[in-house]
């Protein structure tokens, strides 16, 4: 019996989540969920363009998880990459605010 570690536990959760999300929703329900999700991230401070990028990222993830598996780590690695993109998008409103405050205070911006 193989030892359960953090990596295998994460992979199991990601695989289960991907299977549930792709198998339980119809195309209309997925589109509605993405639209709702866009509303949520826009409310959190993302611009319309950033929310569109958020939606496209989710669509790309969904499309990837429907592909046949070629390597056992692909899904975990893609999920990590998607999360990096999401984190970069979610950080943009905060960074915009920081730049605004720094400009108002007359500080040099990087």
Q: Kindly report the CA angle at 54 between 36 and 61, in degrees rounded to 5?
A: 100
Range of the domain at 78: 6-104
Number of structural domains, the chain?
Answer: 1
In a domain, 16, yes or no: yes
pTM above 0.85, yes or no: no
In 3D space, the residue among 74, 50, 53 whose CA is nearest the CA of residue 64 turns out to be: 74
Measured CA to CA in angstroms, residue 54 lies from 5, 79, 89 at distances of: 31, 14, 7
**Residue with tokens 């195309």, as numbered in its chain:** 27
Q: pLDDT 10s per residue in the chain (110 long)?
A: 456 666 666 666 556 555 555 555 666 776 777 688 899 999 999 999 999 999 999 999 999 999 999 999 999 999 999 999 999 999 999 999 999 999 999 876 66
In a domain, 14, yes or no: yes
In a domain, 60, yes or no: yes
């Amino acid at each position: 019996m193989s030892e359960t570690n953090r990596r295998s536990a994460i992979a199991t959760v990601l695989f289960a989540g991907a299977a549930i999300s792709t198998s339980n929703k119809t195309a209309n329900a997925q589109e509605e969920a993405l639209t709702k999700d866009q509303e949520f991230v826009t409310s959190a401070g993302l611009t319309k363009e950033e929310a569109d990028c958020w939606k496209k990222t989710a669509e790309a993830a969904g499309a990837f998880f429907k592909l046949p598996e070629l390597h056992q780590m692909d899904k975990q690695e893609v999920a990590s990459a998607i999360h990096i993109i999401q984190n970069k998008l979610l950080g943009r409103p905060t960074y915009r605010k920081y730049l605004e405050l720094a400009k108002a205070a007359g500080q040099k911006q990087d």
